Amino acid sequence: MVQETRKLFHEELADVQRAVARVAALATESIPRATAVLLGDDDAEAQAIIEDDVVLDRLSHQLEEHCYQVLALQGPVAGDLRTIVTALRMNSEIERSGDLSVNIAKASRRVQGGSFPPEIRGLIERMSEEAIRLYRAALDAYLDGDAELAASIDEMDDVLDDLQVAFIAAVFRAHQDAGLDLEVGVQLAMVARFYERIGDHAVNIGERVQYMVTGWLPEHLVAAPGETGEADGPAAAPVGSDGPSPSD
Protein backbone atom coordinates (compact mmCIF):
# COMPACT_ATOMS: atom_id res chain seq x y z
CA MET A 1 0.00 0.00 0.00
CA VAL A 2 2.81 2.40 0.94
CA GLN A 3 4.69 1.51 -2.25
CA GLU A 4 1.60 2.15 -4.35
CA THR A 5 1.08 5.52 -2.64
CA ARG A 6 4.69 6.48 -3.37
CA LYS A 7 4.27 5.45 -6.99
CA LEU A 8 1.19 7.64 -7.36
CA PHE A 9 3.00 10.53 -5.70
CA HIS A 10 5.94 10.24 -8.09
CA GLU A 11 3.46 10.27 -10.98
CA GLU A 12 2.04 13.50 -9.54
CA LEU A 13 5.53 15.02 -9.45
CA ALA A 14 6.13 13.95 -13.05
CA ASP A 15 2.84 15.56 -14.07
CA VAL A 16 3.94 18.80 -12.39
CA GLN A 17 7.26 18.71 -14.23
CA ARG A 18 5.54 18.16 -17.57
CA ALA A 19 3.18 21.06 -16.87
CA VAL A 20 6.12 23.35 -16.04
CA ALA A 21 7.85 22.29 -19.27
CA ARG A 22 4.69 23.03 -21.24
CA VAL A 23 4.16 26.56 -19.93
CA ALA A 24 7.90 27.28 -20.27
CA ALA A 25 7.83 26.11 -23.89
CA LEU A 26 4.90 28.40 -24.65
CA ALA A 27 6.66 31.36 -23.04
CA THR A 28 9.87 30.60 -24.94
CA GLU A 29 8.04 30.31 -28.27
CA SER A 30 6.39 33.68 -27.71
CA ILE A 31 9.75 35.50 -27.71
CA PRO A 32 10.71 35.02 -31.39
CA ARG A 33 7.07 35.51 -32.38
CA ALA A 34 6.97 38.89 -30.66
CA THR A 35 10.31 39.82 -32.22
CA ALA A 36 9.09 38.95 -35.70
CA VAL A 37 6.02 41.12 -35.14
CA LEU A 38 8.14 44.03 -33.96
CA LEU A 39 10.43 43.84 -36.97
CA GLY A 40 7.77 42.88 -39.50
CA ASP A 41 4.88 45.17 -38.53
CA ASP A 42 2.27 42.36 -38.52
CA ASP A 43 -0.77 43.57 -36.57
CA ALA A 44 -2.70 40.31 -36.99
CA GLU A 45 0.14 38.28 -35.48
CA ALA A 46 0.47 40.81 -32.67
CA GLN A 47 -3.17 40.19 -31.81
CA ALA A 48 -2.61 36.42 -31.99
CA ILE A 49 0.23 36.68 -29.46
CA ILE A 50 -1.98 38.69 -27.12
CA GLU A 51 -4.79 36.14 -27.40
CA ASP A 52 -2.46 33.15 -27.01
CA ASP A 53 -1.27 34.57 -23.70
CA VAL A 54 -4.70 33.71 -22.33
CA VAL A 55 -3.86 30.04 -22.95
CA LEU A 56 -0.57 30.38 -21.10
CA ASP A 57 -2.33 32.13 -18.21
CA ARG A 58 -4.91 29.35 -17.99
CA LEU A 59 -2.27 26.61 -17.98
CA SER A 60 -0.29 28.56 -15.41
CA HIS A 61 -3.34 28.78 -13.16
CA GLN A 62 -3.98 25.04 -13.53
CA LEU A 63 -0.37 24.28 -12.65
CA GLU A 64 -0.57 26.46 -9.56
CA GLU A 65 -3.74 24.74 -8.38
CA HIS A 66 -2.18 21.32 -9.01
CA CYS A 67 0.86 22.23 -6.90
CA TYR A 68 -1.34 23.42 -4.04
CA GLN A 69 -3.30 20.18 -4.23
CA VAL A 70 -0.13 18.10 -4.00
CA LEU A 71 1.08 20.14 -1.04
CA ALA A 72 -2.22 19.74 0.76
CA LEU A 73 -2.83 16.05 0.09
CA GLN A 74 0.67 14.57 -0.02
CA GLY A 75 2.56 16.63 2.59
CA PRO A 76 5.90 16.35 0.76
CA VAL A 77 9.14 16.94 2.66
CA ALA A 78 12.80 17.66 1.83
CA GLY A 79 13.57 17.02 -1.85
CA ASP A 80 9.95 16.45 -2.83
CA LEU A 81 8.87 19.65 -1.10
CA ARG A 82 11.59 21.60 -2.90
CA THR A 83 10.38 20.19 -6.20
CA ILE A 84 6.84 21.49 -5.67
CA VAL A 85 7.94 24.85 -4.28
CA THR A 86 10.30 25.27 -7.25
CA ALA A 87 7.48 24.53 -9.68
CA LEU A 88 5.33 27.18 -8.03
CA ARG A 89 8.11 29.77 -8.14
CA MET A 90 9.04 28.94 -11.73
CA ASN A 91 5.42 29.11 -12.78
CA SER A 92 5.24 32.71 -11.63
CA GLU A 93 8.48 33.63 -13.44
CA ILE A 94 7.27 31.96 -16.64
CA GLU A 95 3.85 33.62 -16.60
CA ARG A 96 5.45 37.03 -16.20
CA SER A 97 7.83 36.30 -19.07
CA GLY A 98 4.84 35.55 -21.28
CA ASP A 99 3.40 38.92 -20.30
CA LEU A 100 6.64 40.59 -21.40
CA SER A 101 6.37 39.03 -24.86
CA VAL A 102 2.84 40.41 -25.02
CA ASN A 103 4.25 43.82 -24.09
CA ILE A 104 6.68 43.58 -27.02
CA ALA A 105 3.82 42.68 -29.35
CA LYS A 106 1.77 45.63 -28.08
CA ALA A 107 4.75 47.96 -28.47
CA SER A 108 4.99 46.93 -32.12
CA ARG A 109 1.63 48.58 -32.66
CA ARG A 110 2.90 51.86 -31.24
CA VAL A 111 5.84 51.97 -33.64
CA GLN A 112 3.98 50.91 -36.77
CA GLY A 113 5.46 52.55 -39.79
CA GLY A 114 8.68 53.30 -37.93
CA SER A 115 11.82 52.73 -39.94
CA PHE A 116 14.56 51.17 -37.83
CA PRO A 117 18.20 51.58 -38.83
CA PRO A 118 20.02 48.28 -39.52
CA GLU A 119 21.99 48.57 -36.26
CA ILE A 120 18.79 48.75 -34.21
CA ARG A 121 17.18 45.86 -36.08
CA GLY A 122 20.28 43.77 -35.58
CA LEU A 123 20.40 44.48 -31.85
CA ILE A 124 16.72 43.59 -31.47
CA GLU A 125 17.39 40.25 -33.14
CA ARG A 126 20.39 39.61 -30.89
CA MET A 127 18.48 40.50 -27.71
CA SER A 128 15.72 38.12 -28.76
CA GLU A 129 18.21 35.33 -29.47
CA GLU A 130 19.89 35.79 -26.09
CA ALA A 131 16.56 35.79 -24.25
CA ILE A 132 15.61 32.54 -25.99
CA ARG A 133 19.02 31.01 -25.20
CA LEU A 134 18.68 31.89 -21.52
CA TYR A 135 15.18 30.46 -21.29
CA ARG A 136 16.14 27.23 -23.01
CA ALA A 137 19.13 26.84 -20.69
CA ALA A 138 16.91 27.43 -17.66
CA LEU A 139 14.40 24.82 -18.84
CA ASP A 140 17.16 22.30 -19.64
CA ALA A 141 18.62 22.82 -16.17
CA TYR A 142 15.22 22.19 -14.63
CA LEU A 143 14.39 19.08 -16.63
CA ASP A 144 17.88 17.59 -16.13
CA GLY A 145 18.25 18.68 -12.50
CA ASP A 146 21.52 20.34 -13.52
CA ALA A 147 22.57 22.73 -10.75
CA GLU A 148 25.81 23.66 -12.56
CA LEU A 149 23.98 24.78 -15.69
CA ALA A 150 21.42 26.60 -13.54
CA ALA A 151 24.21 28.49 -11.76
CA SER A 152 25.78 29.53 -15.07
CA ILE A 153 22.66 31.34 -16.29
CA ASP A 154 23.40 34.42 -14.18
CA GLU A 155 26.73 34.89 -15.95
CA MET A 156 25.16 34.10 -19.33
CA ASP A 157 22.70 36.94 -18.72
CA ASP A 158 25.54 39.47 -18.80
CA VAL A 159 25.47 39.27 -22.60
CA LEU A 160 21.84 40.35 -22.72
CA ASP A 161 22.48 43.12 -20.20
CA ASP A 162 25.33 44.45 -22.37
CA LEU A 163 23.13 44.28 -25.47
CA GLN A 164 20.48 46.36 -23.74
CA VAL A 165 23.03 49.05 -22.92
CA ALA A 166 24.32 49.01 -26.51
CA PHE A 167 20.75 49.19 -27.81
CA ILE A 168 19.87 52.29 -25.78
CA ALA A 169 23.02 53.99 -27.08
CA ALA A 170 22.06 53.04 -30.64
CA VAL A 171 18.57 54.50 -30.17
CA PHE A 172 20.07 57.80 -28.99
CA ARG A 173 22.39 57.90 -32.00
CA ALA A 174 19.53 57.11 -34.38
CA HIS A 175 17.48 59.93 -32.88
CA GLN A 176 20.29 62.47 -33.07
CA ASP A 177 21.87 61.47 -36.38
CA ALA A 178 19.11 59.77 -38.40
CA GLY A 179 16.03 61.57 -37.15
CA LEU A 180 14.45 58.59 -35.43
CA ASP A 181 11.12 59.76 -34.00
CA LEU A 182 11.42 60.44 -30.28
CA GLU A 183 8.22 58.55 -29.39
CA VAL A 184 9.43 55.56 -31.39
CA GLY A 185 12.75 55.76 -29.59
CA VAL A 186 11.04 55.72 -26.20
CA GLN A 187 9.00 52.66 -27.20
CA LEU A 188 12.13 50.89 -28.41
CA ALA A 189 13.89 51.64 -25.12
CA MET A 190 10.97 50.01 -23.32
CA VAL A 191 11.19 46.98 -25.61
CA ALA A 192 14.86 46.57 -24.71
CA ARG A 193 13.84 46.59 -21.06
CA PHE A 194 11.27 43.85 -21.76
CA TYR A 195 13.95 41.60 -23.26
CA GLU A 196 16.26 42.33 -20.34
CA ARG A 197 13.50 41.43 -17.87
CA ILE A 198 12.88 38.13 -19.67
CA GLY A 199 16.54 37.35 -19.10
CA ASP A 200 16.17 38.24 -15.42
CA HIS A 201 13.28 35.79 -15.10
CA ALA A 202 15.46 33.07 -16.64
CA VAL A 203 18.14 33.86 -14.04
CA ASN A 204 15.54 33.58 -11.29
CA ILE A 205 14.46 30.22 -12.64
CA GLY A 206 18.09 29.09 -12.56
CA GLU A 207 18.32 30.08 -8.90
CA ARG A 208 15.16 28.12 -8.12
CA VAL A 209 16.58 25.08 -9.88
CA GLN A 210 19.71 25.31 -7.74
CA TYR A 211 17.45 25.34 -4.68
CA MET A 212 15.51 22.34 -5.95
CA VAL A 213 18.62 20.27 -6.58
CA THR A 214 20.85 21.27 -3.66
CA GLY A 215 18.58 22.81 -1.01
CA TRP A 216 20.67 25.99 -0.96
CA LEU A 217 19.30 29.44 -1.76
CA PRO A 218 21.40 32.26 -3.29
CA GLU A 219 22.46 34.81 -0.69
CA HIS A 220 20.08 37.56 -1.86
CA LEU A 221 17.11 35.25 -1.23
CA VAL A 222 18.16 34.62 2.37
CA ALA A 223 17.41 37.19 5.09
CA ALA A 224 20.42 39.20 6.22
CA PRO A 225 21.68 38.40 9.75
CA GLY A 226 20.59 41.83 10.96
CA GLU A 227 17.04 41.12 9.85
CA THR A 228 16.78 37.84 11.72
CA GLY A 229 18.69 38.79 14.86
CA GLU A 230 21.10 35.91 14.29
CA ALA A 231 24.85 36.09 14.44
CA ASP A 232 26.81 36.40 11.24
CA GLY A 233 26.87 33.19 9.33
CA PRO A 234 27.36 31.86 5.80
CA ALA A 235 25.94 33.89 2.92
CA ALA A 236 23.41 31.21 2.04
CA ALA A 237 21.62 28.65 4.13
CA PRO A 238 20.32 25.18 3.28
CA VAL A 239 16.57 25.03 2.99
CA GLY A 240 14.43 21.93 3.11
CA SER A 241 17.46 19.66 3.38
CA ASP A 242 17.25 18.57 7.01
CA GLY A 243 16.80 14.95 6.14
CA PRO A 244 16.64 12.60 3.19
CA SER A 245 13.61 12.79 0.95
CA PRO A 246 11.41 9.69 0.98
CA SER A 247 12.23 9.39 -2.67
CA ASP A 248 16.00 9.92 -2.27
Fill in the DSSP letter of residue 232.
P
Residue 246 is predicted with a pLDDT of 36
Which residues, including other chains, have CB under 8 Å from residue 1's CB and lie 6 or more apart?
A: none
Residue 9 is predicted with a pLDDT of 73
| Residue pair 150/141 in contact by the 8 Å Cβ criterion | yes
Nearest Cα residue to 46 out of 93, 89, 107, 133? 107
Residue 1 is predicted with a pLDDT of 55
CATH number given to 2-222: 1.20.58.220
Rounded Cα distance, 12 and 70, in Å: 8
Residue 3 is predicted with a pLDDT of 61
Please, where are the H alpha helices in 75-181?
Answer: 78-110, 118-144, 147-178
The crossing angle, in degrees rounded to 10, of helices 182-214 and 118-144 is 20
Residue 236 is predicted with a pLDDT of 44
Rounded Cα distance, 73 and 69, in Å: 6
Residue 227 is predicted with a pLDDT of 47
Residue 243 is predicted with a pLDDT of 39
Nearest Cα residue to 143 out of 205, 51, 53, 76? 205
Residues of the chain with pLDDT under 70: 1-7, 76, 113-114, 218-248
